[in-house]
Chains A and B, each alone.
Chain A
Amino acid sequence: MSDAINDEPAPPAFPEDAPLPIDVKKTHVAAEFKHEFPLTTCRIDPTGRFVFAGAEDLNVYRWSLSQKKNESDKPAAKTTFSGHESWVRSMDFSPDGQWLYTGGYDDHIGIWRADDSQPKPVRMIEAHKGWVRWVRVSRDGQLLASCGNDNLVKVWKLPEFELVQQFEGHKRYPYAVDFHPDGKRLVSFDLMGVIKEWDIDSGKELRSMEAKFMWGFDQKFRADMGGARDLRFSPDGKTLAVAGLTDVTNAFAGVHKPMILLVDWDAGKHLQKLKADSYKGMAWGVRFHPEGFLVAVGAPQSGASGVLWFWKPGEDKPFHTVKLSHCGRAVDLTPDATKLAIAQFDGKLTVYQMTEKVAS
């Protein structure tokens, strides 16, 4: 509303702290944290203070995002979360960022205080018979969903961690789950490209859809290759994004192409199959940016040409691409969506800023 005395718009209260506008084409490395083992996943906590990564040494690590790339010659300080007996490929947080939940290939979900200086698991829950492949906290923080190699999707009440629903129906491993933003529904995606929608209250299966092109049967080796490597609803719940693979020609050599599938959720229709045609490998992560584009990371079949893609829904090709130092295995956004973190095969946890550089 205009002011009768001064029609000029009011300047920001603290112009030096005002967020810079997103300019994807100026994406640059803002921080880089190095670990000795390949990383398996990463997440930024909801307060934006920390970035967490799982590693092939069975631990989860935490770095402070306030550390800068060139702050000193010493490696950035990291805090170790040790307690799983296998790899962690999925993590999530309580909405206030106080609690970290880790899904391990040791069948357990770990519950941790996210900002502990000397972290120890508060609880380790045997959640599945077989790998816990995915954990996801509902937007209101009341529930946690998990899926595992017992082919089950489970819903747990927080903070008690009491099992409130168990969904049976996947015939092969469910790889990932996500809550619909309406809080009433849950979606899961399995090895064979089967997508299931579940009603959380009634425990019933609402829908089953297929994305068989994100699965392949290797005739020579008689093996199935597929599954979601990441799964996300758009904030409005209208679109589901699935990161994974397509066009499997040799599963055992990893010969396939990356794919991001967008599903019109209400209509149950495939909106778009995003492929980087000349690129062979896997799409390992995807996020909806609040400004309407998609951020995704990929790893090549061979070589070190990991990639960060920026895609606009409706367009066939990424509108911007950033080459990574090695294979990207997960991506996450900061709460203000100005930065993103990528977990890499070469042990690097790289933080990119999607704005112009600010002089330090």
Chain B
Amino acid sequence: MRRDTGCNAIDHAISRRALLAGSAAATAVGVAGKVLPAETKQLKTQQKRILQVFLQGGLSQLESWDPKPGTRYGGPFRAIDTSVPGIRISELLPHIAQRMHHLSIVRSIDIKTNSHQQGRLFMERGRRAGVFPYVGTIAAKYLAPKTASLPGYMHVTTRGLDDNTNAFLPAQFAQLKLPGAAAPENLKHSGKLTADAAKRRNELRRRLSQRFSGKVGQPAFTDSYDSSYTLADKLLAKKGLFEGEPPPKELERYGSHPFGRNCIVARKLLEAGSTCVKVTHHGYDTHAENFNFHLEQLAEFDKTFCMLLDDLHDSGMLESTLVLIMSEFGRTPKINQRYGRDHWGTAWSMALGGCGIKPGVVIGKTNDEGTAVADREVDGRHLFHTYFRALGIDTTDHHDMPGRAIPIGDPSAEAIGELLA
């Protein structure tokens, strides 16, 4: 694989399409020249949603959003200009560099942990400790329309951990994990079961659940049981999203690798009404050969992510979609003996854009060698508030739980106001 310099024929084709999309004659033309489904048109004006791209293992901030070439720990990669004057990012992200005007960067994250699990939980829950709902669950609960035709929080990943994503919120808002782009297993009814029979069977099950819930007095358990059937039903109705091979042109743009295919599915899910779609790209825990692996991983991520970003932009959905590119932490400035970088929660970065986010902004900075935050330190709490303020949710409000009120965001922190549009 050669390093992608961000200038290929297919990208020029995309620019041409983007140009067409701006003309009146092309307002009905969406991605890949297709007519937008009515559902998508409605979505783009009414519903707000999240695209969460999780770079699992810990993306190196020095090889991405906060390059420091020529410094003690700068590594071998150079920095390049972006479409936003004054913002330079790693040469490993040439496609994003051309689209920097859609995104902003936070360069001053200090979560004070180097643990994969603690970092992930802090970045997802916006709380340093305790069991709280994930970003996707909050989105599903507060942004998903009651009539949503898909589960509110879906995670496309080739592997991953099973987390308690909904915490104390109802199970219907929990993450539904899809094992890659293929249709989930057991999505089809048994061959002998007709659709009508399945419907009647489900109604009987629902009534029994209601009776059981009322008598035994543990509605949370039956809710959970019930919601799994509801989610399965919704997926079943949309199984077409997973069927068939993507068109060759789409695979050429996104890449035929698993992450490319996962991002194609992510776009379909967002277009079909899912409120939070998380896509995980694995392979950033680079304790050895950090530079060779980031070269490969980011070449895959950069191009593919940008195709997804372009499609959201071209379809008009980007302005109502909060886009998050995040990890559980960054990587050490110090380069170890294996040409690796280790876990580093002390001074790292993420990028975000879309709905409610001021584009082309850089928040905070690290010191000259990237070993500490030098200005505007933030952590998972501030970011969590920022995401949902951008989406119009008041994070100082409370989850309305029976008998108790739990603040949505951590009351000890506030949103990053400079990022909010």
Contact = CB atoms under 8 A, between A and B. Distances in A.
Interface stretch (B209-217, B284-292, B380-388, B390-398): B284-292
Contacts of A150: 2-3
Contact of B293 (A131, A173, A252, A302): A252
A223 B296 contact: yes
Interface in B81-124: none
B76 A252 contact: no
Interface in B268-318: 282-283, 285-289, 293, 295-297
Nearest to B73: A56
B338 interface: yes
Scoring A87, A223, A224 by chain B CB atoms within 10 A of each residue's CB, the highest score goes to A223
A37 interface: yes
Interface string A93-116: 000000000000110000000000
Contact of A56 (B258, B282, B283, B335): B335
A130 B285 contact: no
Nearest to B77: A86
Nearest to B3: A130
Contact of B282 (A129, A151, A222, A251): A222
Contact of B70 (A58, A129, A251): A58
A327 interface: yes
A300 B336 CA distance: 12
A223 B283 contact: yes
A57 B72 contact: yes
B69 interface: yes
Contacts of A38: 335, 337
B24 interface: no
Contacts of B289: 225, 251-252, 254
B78 A222 contact: no
A4 to B, nearest CB: 64
Interface residues of A, number: 37
B5 interface: yes
A129 B2 contact: yes
Nearest to B71: A57
B26 to A, nearest CB: 34
Contacts of A225: 289
A179 interface: no
B256 interface: no
A251 B286 CA distance: 8
Contacts of A304: 337
B345 interface: no
Interface string B244-284: 00000000000000100000000000000000000000110
A315 B187 CA distance: 59
Interface in B154-194: 158-159
Interface of B is mostly: loop
Given A38-B335, A254-B289, A87 B283 contact: no
Contact of B1 (A56, A172, A299, A326): A172
B6 to A, nearest CB: 12
B337 A149 contact: no
Contacts of A131: 3, 76
Given A85-B69, A129-B3, A251 B288 contact: yes
B354 interface: no
Contacts of B282: 221-222
B2 A130 contact: yes
B293 A151 contact: no
A57 B71 CA distance: 7
B30 interface: no
Given A105-B76, A151-B2, A172-B1, A252 B287 contact: yes
A291 B78 CA distance: 44
A1 interface: no
Contacts of A129: 2-3, 5
Interface in A125-139: 129-131
A64 interface: no
Given A223-B296, A251-B288, A252-B288, A86 B76 contact: yes
B340 interface: yes
Interface string A46-89: 00000000001110000000000000000000000000011100
A84 to B, nearest CB: 10
A301 interface: yes
Contact of A345 (B2, B293, B297, B337): B337
B1 A254 contact: no
Interface string A213-232: 00000001111110000000
Interface in B390-410: none
A173 B1 contact: yes
Nearest to A282: B338
Contacts of B295: 149
B151 interface: no
A253 interface: yes
B36 to A, nearest CB: 34
Interface in B33-72: 57, 69-70, 72
Interface string B336-375: 0110100000000000000000000000000000000000
Scoring A86, A87, A299, A345 by chain B CB atoms within 10 A of each residue's CB, the highest score goes to A86
Interface in A288-316: 299-302, 304
Contacts of A224: 296
16 contacts: A37-B72, A85-B69, A86-B78, A130-B3, A151-B1, A222-B158, A222-B282, A222-B283, A224-B296, A251-B289, A251-B293, A253-B287, A253-B288, A254-B288, A282-B338, A301-B338
Given A223-B283, A252-B287, A253-B288, 11 more contacts: A37-B72, A58-B70, A85-B69, A86-B77, A87-B76, A131-B3, A151-B1, A151-B2, A252-B289, A254-B340, A302-B337
The 7 tightest CB contacts between A and B, nearest first, are A254-B288, A254-B338, A130-B3, A105-B76, A87-B76, A86-B76, A150-B2
